[in-house]
Amino acid sequence: MTPERSVAWLGREKERRALDFCLQHIDKIIETVEAMDETVYSFSKGSTEFKKKSEKVLDKEREADRIQEKIINELSKGRYLPLSREKIIRLSITAEHIADNARAAAVKLTYLNPRNIDEDIRDGLSQLSHFSSESVKILKEAYTLLLKDEDIEATINKTEEVEKMEEKIDYFRANELIPRIVNWADEFHRPGTTIHLIQTEENIEEVSDQVENTADAIREIALGSM
């Protein structure tokens, strides 16, 4: 077994520093998504505080971005095996897309007036956001199992949980949320609001899509270490 196929590369000092940054990165991404979830929940209840809460999402996303820059800077120093560098870069960039979409959802939400949108749609957005928040927490468990515990089998099992959550989210969107939005849009004829609403919903859903993509990157590292 070559060093690149062995889990041992996870423990080498240089890779360890970069991977420690990856763990910090996912922690900050969780904070970003949780802030998004709080914002969407506040919006769903018609609170005027949701715009203020959205500012926290932006702050957390910027913090996540700074950690991602540290990962890239660390990988640019000295000698890394090409494959380990490639895997860590892919992991960090894909994970950053989670925070990017959480930020985008929060920003777009500020252009909407909750009083102009039916309560059942607002509740649906909040449920979708909650699902996305739960999925990123499962992803963090996969990070820990691989990068701290180096438990390959448990890591793969955890990434499968991420996939199951994504399936749950897809079902909810297709059978619950999207039909509500379509019916509401047909009835109230608010094209501008509808466009922003759909774009916000898509960004919230994309959070979970990028969680799944990041889980795929984790699984790739785990499988390559068997």
**Looking at residue 31, which CATH number applies to its domain?**
1.20.58.220
Domain with 193 in it: 7-224
What is the overall mean pLDDT for the chain? 91
Whether 137 maps to a domain, the answer reads yes
pLDDT at 2 over 50: no
pLDDT at residue 68, rounded to an integer: 95
pLDDT at residue 119, rounded to an integer: 96
Burial (CB count within 10 angstroms: exposed 0-12, middle 13-18, buried 19+), residue 184? middle
Tell me the pTM.
0.92
pLDDT at 10 over 80: no
pLDDT at residue 3, rounded to an integer: 41
13-30 pLDDT, tens per residue?
667 788 899 999 999 999
Whether 169 maps to a domain, the answer reads yes
pLDDT at 82 over 90: no
* CA 132 – CA 3 distance, rounded (Å): 36
pLDDT band, residue 84 (cuts 50/70/90): confident
Helix (H) or strand (E) holding 171: helix 152-172
Across the range 77-90, mean pLDDT stands at 75
56-60, Cβ contacts within 8 angstroms, sequence gap of 24 or more = 57/32, 57/102, 57/103, 57/106, 57/107, 58/103, 58/106, 58/107, 59/35, 60/28, 60/31, 60/32, 60/35, 60/99
**Number of structural domains found in the chain:** 1
Whether 18 maps to a domain, the answer reads yes
pLDDT band, residue 77 (cuts 50/70/90): confident
Whether 2 maps to a domain, the answer reads no
* CA 37 – CA 31 distance, rounded (Å): 10
Whether 1 maps to a domain, the answer reads no
pLDDT at 186 over 80: yes
Whether 46 maps to a domain, the answer reads yes
